[in-house]
A = this chain, B = another copy of it.
Amino acid sequence: MRDVSNDSELQTYYRQMVPHALRPLWLDYKELLQPEPRSKAIPYVWHWRDMYPQIMKAAELVSTDEAERRVLMLMNPGLEGRDAITNTLYAGVQLVLPGEVAAAHRHTPSALRFIIDGDGGGHTTVDGERIPMESGDLVLTPNWTWHDHGNHSGRPIIWLDGLDLPLANMLEATFFELFGDDMQPVTKPSDASVESWGAAAGLRPVGRQHTAAYSPLMHYQWRQTKPALERLAAAGGGTPEDGAMLEYTNPQTGGHVMPTMACYAQVLAPGQRTAAHRHTCSAVYQVVEGRGQSIVNGEQLDWESKDVFCVPGWTYHEHANTSSEPAYLFSFTDLPVLESMDLLREQPHPKGRQ
């Protein structure tokens, strides 16, 4: 059979239709419809020992006034200069010095903040609610919520930013607005959403109207999450692929915290090694405590406390705690996106492990 891609006679036909904005499908067919996904993103680990000096150097060189946000983005080396850690997700390390402010704005890309180093003296204000930020806490600043950051403590605060910015930009749905003043007015009690929605499992405040698509709870405290993980693990909870794992949820619906990103915390016991699997959603992990390694598509990523690593979509991955202490991981993924589109697939590794 002729190769219709390279046939010289046909080339003329192909070329003359270009001005009509037409192109034969059969030239691109195999590239467009591949048997299964092969992410351009690669498995990669960002070590704290590398990130920390860089972000501290940034603090010397650039003010928040100059940068608006003092953030170093984690650039997936496979994504050729796209500001993305996986195809749909963005991650960055942000630092706010004592006395600084990161000015109030809002945008349709949704964001989460996972505190790497903070003692509660730094804060984020979200739609008028001021939220203190402590190490291990998760803070949401969802789609189109006003938010600004400040630091009234005596030492720098550093956190991981997670956004669906690559997704929102691919969908051509990014809107952005500056508040005008550096800081929005605080109109609610501190941690108001925690006082209303966060006090205990299975309890909902009567009379609070919340119609947004994201969680009414803006702050998930590590001092709640860590013991919850420990209790789950002690009760034998968990799956072979993830160990004892909790998903952060929207308490009003029981669903994901935001329509585009899901957040998780998990604990691996000393020596524990999980079963390998892959799924079409991609993931970003922040090591909260502990030391271990993950094997992603055959590649070994060694990690320790405060490191960040990524697992691109449809890559087999498994995790191991190689230390004698429990290892705690926070992670976020684009699972809700794949799920809504009915494009979520999951597959265990045929041999259990790589």
Contact = CB atoms under 8 A, between A and B. Distances in A.
A261 to B, nearest CB: 10
B25 A71 contact: yes
Contacts of A201: 197-201, 203, 217, 224, 251
Interface stretch (A166-174, A284-292, A294-302): A166-174
B2 A57 contact: no
A280 interface: yes
A204 B165 contact: no
A215 B173 CA distance: 27
This chain's copy number in the assembly? 4
Nearest to A17: B54
A239 B207 contact: yes
A180 B32 CA distance: 19
Contact of A173 (B17, B37, B72): B37
A36 interface: yes
A206 B264 contact: yes
Interface string A189-206: 100100111111111111
A69 B215 contact: no
Interface string A281-320: 0100000000000000000000000000000111000000
Given A67-B26, A171-B87, A239 B204 contact: no
Interface string A204-231: 1111100001110100100011011001
Contact of A198 (B88, B202, B236, B334): B202
Nearest to A200: B224
Contact of A237 (B46, B208, B225): B208
Contact of A34 (B77, B174, B195): B174
Interface of A: 1-2, 4, 9-10, 13, 17, 20-26, 28-29, 32-39, 44, 46, 50-51, 54, 57-58, 61-62, 65-77, 83, 87-88, 92, 107-109, 143, 165, 167-177, 189, 192, 195-208, 213-215, 217, 220, 224-225, 227-228, 231-232, 234-239, 242, 245-255, 257, 259-260, 264-266, 280, 282, 312-314, 334, 337-338, 340-343, 345
